[in-house]
Amino acid sequence: MMGQKITPEMIKDLRERSGVGMSKCKDALVEADGDVEKASEILRKKGLASAVKKEGRETKEGTIGFFEADKDIALMEVNTETDFVAKNEKFQKFVKDLTEQVAKTTPSSLENFLKESYEIDPSLTVEEYRNLLIQSIGENIKISRLEVIHKKENASYGIYSHMGGKIVTIVEITGATDEDKFARDLAMHVAAEAPEYLKESDIPETIKRKEEEIARSQIKGKPENIIEKILIGKVKAFAKQVCLLEQSYVKDPSMNVKKIVENRAKETQKTLAITCFWRWKIGG
């Protein structure tokens, strides 16, 4: 028997009732064989109807989840409206489960991940489960970003979570596979000192020029050769603030991070180098 024809009027009617997007309304109507009441119930069960009402609310709190697998590390930021909900056990489990799934499925984008079947309940997509959680918790919940870090061979990874997942940092050290503890110490430094670049050569020229302009405006009237020396010094001082390798190490400010790594390399007789770092902060 052929199902009832789904008309634009029926979709419009269901959209006005539920506030859910046209394509989801059409899917629900197809599933309900054209019965608007039944379709409305389907949307409610999936949490879509009530979730839409909360979608516009600001989500400035939340948690950054991470999960380390054999070959990959997953990072994910999930936001909420209040810190109270960010600490909620159900929300924390949602973040943990999702981050584990990202490490397993290694999605190419957030958009693709939201379409995946949710491993805990494969009858729902990740997006549908997020909507159910919104309905259950009563606050807007937003998955704002994810990243899959593919581990390099002969490398160590240190992961540090600060303030209950408000900041999560990772440091990658190449040259050894057993330097995770040392890498974690450096990840703690990254959490505290918030470097923007790894080394001085990574600072974009536009940023350097801007720093030089600020310095020039402060030292007008001096001879050009003196100005040049001062500008070089200013850029070096700026690099010491924003570059991880140039920063004074928090655990021993008498040395910079580059020197700390060199010392560790001599101690272990390995060619160690920090090749990458990540610093994720809620909302940033």
pLDDT at 49 (0 to 100) = 57
Specify whether 117 is located in the same domain as 39.
no
Q: 271 and 175 in contact (C-beta within 8 Å)?
A: yes
- Interatomic CA distance for residues 135 and 141, integer angstroms: 10
- Residue 16 in any domain: the answer is yes
- Residue 97 in any domain: the answer is yes
CA angle, residues 203, 282, 253, in degrees to nearest 5 = 50
Residue 16's pLDDT band (boundaries 50, 70, 90)?
confident
Specify whether 34 is located in the same domain as 71.
no
pLDDT at 137 (0 to 100) = 86
Global pTM reads: 0.79
Specify whether 35 is located in the same domain as 64.
no
At 137, which CATH number?
3.30.479.20
H helix or E strand, kind and range, residue 159: strand 155-162
Specify whether 69 is located in the same domain as 37.
no
- Residue 49 in any domain: the answer is no
pLDDT tens digits along 31-78: 999 988 888 888 877 766 555 556 667 788 999 999 999 999 999 999
- Residue 119 in any domain: the answer is yes
CA angle, residues 176, 177, 178, in degrees to nearest 5 = 95
The 8 Å CB, 24+ separation contacts for 259-268 are 260/186, 261/173, 261/186, 264/179, 264/182, 265/175, 268/176, 268/179
Residue 179's pLDDT band (boundaries 50, 70, 90)?
very high
In 33-150, DSSP assigns E strands to 61-68, 72-80, 117-118, 121-125, 142-150
Instruction: Choose the weakest-confidence range: 2-6, 24-28, 80-84.
Output: 2-6
- Interatomic CA distance for residues 270 and 119, integer angstroms: 41
Closest by alpha carbon to 274, among 266, 262, 282, 46? 262
Q: How far does Cα 262 stand from its chain's mean position?
A: 30
- Interatomic CA distance for residues 251 and 188, integer angstroms: 10
- Interatomic CA distance for residues 269 and 183, integer angstroms: 16
Does the pLDDT value for residue 131 go beyond 80? Answer: yes
Q: 140 and 54 in contact (C-beta within 8 Å)?
A: yes
Q: How far does Cα 42 stand from its chain's mean position?
A: 32
Q: 80 and 138 in contact (C-beta within 8 Å)?
A: no
Q: 246 and 256 in contact (C-beta within 8 Å)?
A: yes
- Residue 167 in any domain: the answer is no
- Interatomic CA distance for residues 241 and 222, integer angstroms: 26
- Residue 244 in any domain: the answer is no
Domain assignment of residue 62, given as a range: 57-151
Specify whether 35 is located in the same domain as 86.
no
pLDDT at 47 (0 to 100) = 65
pLDDT at 1 (0 to 100) = 36
- Interatomic CA distance for residues 2 and 225, integer angstroms: 87
The number of folded domains in the chain is 2
Q: How far does Cα 135 stand from its chain's mean position?
A: 24
- The tokens 């979570």 sit on which residue? 161
Specify whether 67 is located in the same domain as 146.
yes
Does the pLDDT value for residue 134 go beyond 80? Answer: yes
pLDDT tens digits along 205-261: 999 988 888 888 888 778 888 888 888 898 899 999 999 999 999 999 999 999 999
The overall average pLDDT reported for the chain is 91
pLDDT at 284 (0 to 100) = 81
Residue 79 backbone phi and psi in degrees, to 5: -105, 150
For residue 222 the two structure tokens come to: 């001096």
Residue 14's pLDDT band (boundaries 50, 70, 90)?
confident
pLDDT at 65 (0 to 100) = 98
pLDDT at 188 (0 to 100) = 98
Specify whether 70 is located in the same domain as 129.
yes
- Residue 120 in any domain: the answer is yes
